[in-house]
Amino acid sequence: MLKDITIGQHFPGNSPIHRLDPRIKLIVTVAYVVFLFLSTNAVGLALCIAAIPALYGIAKIPVKLLKKSLKPILPIILFTVVLNLFFITGDGAPLLQIWKIKIYMEGIMFCIVMVIRIICLISGTSLLTYTTSPIELTDGLERLMAPLNVVKFPVHEMAMMMTIALRFIPTLVEETDKIISAQKSRGAMLDSGSFTDRVKALVPILIPLFISAFRRADELATAMECRCYHGGKGRTRLKQLKITSNDIMCSVVCIVCFAVIFATRFFFTPLI
Amino acid sequence: MAILKIENLSYTYNEGLPGATKALDNVNLEIEEGTFVGVIGHTGCGKSTLISHLNGLTKPQQGAIYLDGKNIWTEYDNIRDVRFNVGLVFQYPEYQLFEETIYKDIAFGPKNMGLSDEEVDKRVKMAAKFVGIPEYALEGSPFDLSGGQKRRVAIAGIIAMQPRVLVLDEPCAGLDPEGRELILSQVKNYHQTTGGTVILVSHSMEDIANYADKVLVMENGTVYNYANTEEIFQDAENLSKMGLGIPDITKVFLKLKEMGLDIDTDVYTIPYAVKTLLKYKEKNGGGHNA
């Protein structure tokens, strides 16, 4: 059940995308999201959609995984669709009218575009975490945010917090699974009973989970101190990030793609 | 009739994804009521996956589990009934304690069974006695206890449900020899007093040899051997080759045989070793000149 959560997971590999510099991957992902919302015409959106299977193909990430990561956001998609469908009003006559609810052509178009955007958004950002290990990811982020050090923003500490948080997601998920199994073995009612019963059934899970999270945090802090960790000042890196020819090539390809997507704005009529 | 029957059970983790691993491969097994079964095998051989099937925490992908001849997924109204009959103690069970007092924590299982307050009280006291927690300590917080004591409280929480099959997954992991001995002897005592079925998963051949009537050896998700303890140790050489640590006393006998003594090597406990040596002495006319 909980094991199905794939968001934030890393799948090691050796594809060109895996080897790409994390800084470039981060920037490209952010740019992709921006352009996804900038493209309002059919061709631009089609290009954005086409990028997903192409990139997943290059990274050799199975499509099954993508399906799994999209499953949990299905309710969000449905919610957006329903909301937009009923509340967006158009200029012409409504296509359909049931009691006070009117559905317009514009509403339907907007829904389709929204669904495409949400799916592409999740797939695109998932690809980033699938192909980048948490350490690379935070390393890249730390480097990108380095200029903020000037205004005394604790960049390294933030990055370290993120690394630790990402690192412990799978551990805590596994722990939760174990505790749930243990309490189920003692007859806890987790999947049956009234609403209050179920809320009460959470107590035997949350208490051990919190206790173990605090215990882990404490142990980790001790372990870090034992290795003389004292914040970011004067820390050097084991792996230096270096821009290679592969990175430059990918950047050029991405810039061209983004330029094309942007250019479609001037040649095609927007859908919404 | 066998109390638990496992039929053609197979289970694969991450089916259809990269890194799919077959944890169980066509396992068939029958466990007789009242036996003390030891389960041994390497890390990742499927022991834990197998036992999580026994009380319906994992649904079989293929095959079925029968409790009293009835399929636990199709012939019981509620899977909870199965869980009350097959009590499962997890690895490091001390991390599942959550109540304010030890008493309340042990009572969690029996209360879920819908028993009357008097019955719950009786069972909590009985379970506490089995694991050696004095009655005056029951009102204390479980979080003030030491690791070994916490674990015994957690085991009491399962025993209080009076399951007909008690399954323990590595109950001694991370304990000192004294703690191991204590927990195992309490489990043995429980087995002898109640006559219930006990399934003990362990890495230590020594523990299994000392306590189990029957041993299940698992390898790569399959049953390598399931037989009485003596029979299992007749195969000591192969077990040793598989990398399963065999009891020290068995190692001594294997070495003796290697040195040219015609002696049985199915020895796994000290008293049995003494008996075998005496028999050998008798057979060979005794004395050092044999």
One-character DSSP codes across A13-48: --SHHHHS-HHHHHHHHHHHHHHHHH--BHHHHHHH
pLDDT value of position A1: 45
- Higher pLDDT among residues A180 and B261, named by residue: A180
Cα(A87)–Cα(A69) distance, integer angstroms:
29
A6 CB within 8 Å of a chain B CB? no
* B193 falls within a domain: no
Q: What is the mean pLDDT of residues A234-258?
A: 85
Q: Of how many residues is chain A composed?
A: 272
Taking only residues 63 to 82 of chain A, the set having a beta carbon closer than 8 angstroms to any beta carbon of chain B reads 64-65
For residue A160, pLDDT over 80 is answered with: yes
More confident residue, A135 or B217: B217
Render A126-182 in DSSP notation, one character per residue: HHHHHHS-HHHHHHHHHHHHGGGGGGT--HHHHHHHHHHHHHHHHHHHHHHHHHHHH
Average pLDDT (B159-177) is: 90
| Residue A185 with chain B: CB contacts under 8 Å | 55, 57, 83, 87-88, 90, 158
pLDDT score, position B50: 92
| Per-residue pLDDT, B234 | 78
Note whether A11 contacts B143, CB cutoff 8 Å.
no
Q: How many helices (H) and strands (E) does chain A have?
A: 10, 2
Judge whether B119 lies within some domain: no
Q: Are the Cβ atoms of A185 and B90 closer than 8 angstroms?
A: yes
The overall average pLDDT reported for chain B is: 87
Buried b (16+ CB within 10 A) or exposed e, A162-199: ebeebebeeeebebbebbbbbbbbbbbeeeeeeeeeee
CA angle, A102 as apex, A97 and A104 as ends, to 5°? 110
pLDDT value of residue A221: 93
**Number of C-beta neighbours around residue B202 at 10 A:** 23
Phi, psi of B223 (to 5 degrees): -85, 115
Q: Which residue of A has its CA nearest to B156?
A: A186
Domain annotation covers residue B86: no
Report the percent of chain B where pLDDT is more than 90: 38
At A48-68, the pLDDT tens digits run 888 888 888 888 888 777 887
Check pLDDT > 80 for residue B211. Answer: yes
Report the SS3 class of residue B12. Answer: strand
CA distance B148 to chain A (A): 17
Instruction: Please state, for a pLDDT cut of 70, what percent of chain A lies above it.
Output: 96
Tell me the helix, strand and coil percentages in chain A, rounded to 5: 75, 5, 25
Residues A107 and A84: their CA atoms lie apart, in Å, by 6
Distance between start and end Cα atoms, chain B: 49
Chain B interface includes A248 (CB < 8 A) = no
Range of the domain at B284: 247-290
pLDDT in tens, B126-158: 999 999 899 898 999 998 888 889 999 999 999
Residue bearing the bigger pLDDT, B236 or A261: A261
Best probe of the B interface among A65, A186, A197, by most B CBs < 10 A, is A186
Q: Does the pLDDT at position A109 exceed 50? A: yes
CB contact A184 to B (< 8 Å): yes
Buried b (16+ CB within 10 A) or exposed e, B221-256: bbbbebeebeebbebbeebeebebebbebbeebbeb
Chain B CB contacts of A65 under 8 Å are: 17
Helix runs in chain B, H state only: 47-54, 79-85, 102-112, 117-130, 147-159, 177-194, 205-211, 229-234, 236-241, 248-258, 270-283
pLDDT at residue B290 above 50? no
The pLDDT of residue A7 is 56
A3-17, A99-113, B166-180: least confident range: A3-17
Is the CA virtual torsion B229, B235, B236, B242 positive or negative?
negative
Q: What is the pLDDT, as a whole number, of residue B65?
A: 92
A185 and B17 within 8 Å at the Cβ level: the answer is: no
Q: Is A182 in CB contact (< 8 Å) with chain B?
A: yes
Contact A211 B113 (CB under 8 A): no
Measure the CA angle with vertex A247, ends A243 and A252; round to 5°: 125
How confident is residue B38, by pLDDT bands cut at 50, 70 and 90?
Answer: very high
A178: which 2 tokens?
């174990």
> Is pLDDT above 90 for B164?
yes
Contact B90 A178 (CB under 8 A): yes
**Is the pLDDT score of A250 beyond 60?**
yes
What domain count does chain B have?
Answer: 1
Contacts of B96 in chain A (CB under 8 A): 179, 182-183, 204, 208
> In this complex, do A64 and B161 lie within 8 Å of one another by their Cβ atoms?
no
pLDDT of B39 strictly over 50: yes
CB-CB contact of B220 with B26 (8 Å): no
- Give the model's pLDDT for residue A8: 62
Who's near A109: CB < 8 A, 6+ residues apart?
Answer: A271, A272
Q: Per-residue pLDDT for B288 more than 70?
A: no
Interchain proximity B112–A186, CB inside 8 Å: yes
Choice between A263 and A231, residue whose per-residue pLDDT is larger: A263
What's the gap in Å between the CA of B241 and the closest CA on chain A?
33
CB-count exposure of residue A78 (10 Å: 0-12, 13-18, 19+): exposed
Structure tokens at A43: 């061709």
Domain ranges of chain A: 1-132+242-272, 156-239
Q: What pLDDT, on a 0 to 100 scale, did the predictor assign at position B276?
A: 83
On whether ipTM exceeds 0.95, the answer is no
